[in-house]
Structure 1
Amino acid sequence: MRKLQILGFLCVWALICLGSCFAYPRAKTSYVNDFVFPTEDEHVIPPWQQYSNEHSSQSRDLKLAKCTDFQLDNASGNARLIFISYKKVEDPLQSLKKALVEELNLPELVVSLQVVRSGKNRLVFELPSALDALFTLNSYCNRYRDRNDLTYEIISVLK
């Protein structure tokens, strides 16, 4: 009787083990070949470039490319430029004069500039010669290469 009882327990234990193998199968292990590499067509921004400030190198390069857009065909004619202030200013003309005198070191242009159109933070102004406009853009571009925190922009206008 004792041997039958032990045999019965072994059979029950074997059935439980056998049943648990089918009831709870092992999870399939995943290997490295499950990873999908991104295609070369997709441009993924690296994490160290995702949280850059508003003056990123790409936007700086685009702004510097605007400096080369000015074409000097006739040095005697008037040239128009746009001054855009990124700060809130009461008078964009005063901000332009301050930028010309203090930052760009072109105080002689302050008396010769004429305002064509004025807006809230932007100003279209005219200089008496295209050479003056070229000097202004050149000074702005050289200054912009030195600093990345400018609060204004000067770009050329085609008439």
Structure 2
Amino acid sequence: MPIYDNQGTYDTEMAVGYAGMEADTSGPRDVASRIIETAAVAFGLAVGRGTADGSAKISGGGFEGITIEDKTRTADQYAVGEVAAVKRKGSVWVVADGAVTPAGTVTYTEATGAIGVKAVATGIVAIPNAKFENTAADGALVRVYLG
């Protein structure tokens, strides 16, 4: 329920998270630094390997990880040439691409980096050892565990 005053409107409850936010930092964790190639990458998207050593990009080869937020950025994304934090193990919040449940296979769309439960096909790849930690509707936040 929002609070109204002459300064504006404020939520009375905090959001559980946001795309790219680490959901749990107490367990196993592996974050790599990767230079972004080709196009800007928003927080909470899957990236693949880039063409140069130590790089990553949307539509890259294989699954490298999920970009996590960096509060020093002025936009919620990493620009081309910037060093991105890419989570390879642990839990991270993402926006669900389709309705998801913990029983669903975690996949990502190579062209967009969106994470959901689409059937594996050309351009849609299963993320090995990953699982959804909660149920979420299309476009809602969901926790993904990378194992």
Q: Return the TM-score normalized by structure 2.
A: 0.24
Structure with the larger helix share: 1
Q: Return the TM-score normalized by structure 1.
A: 0.23
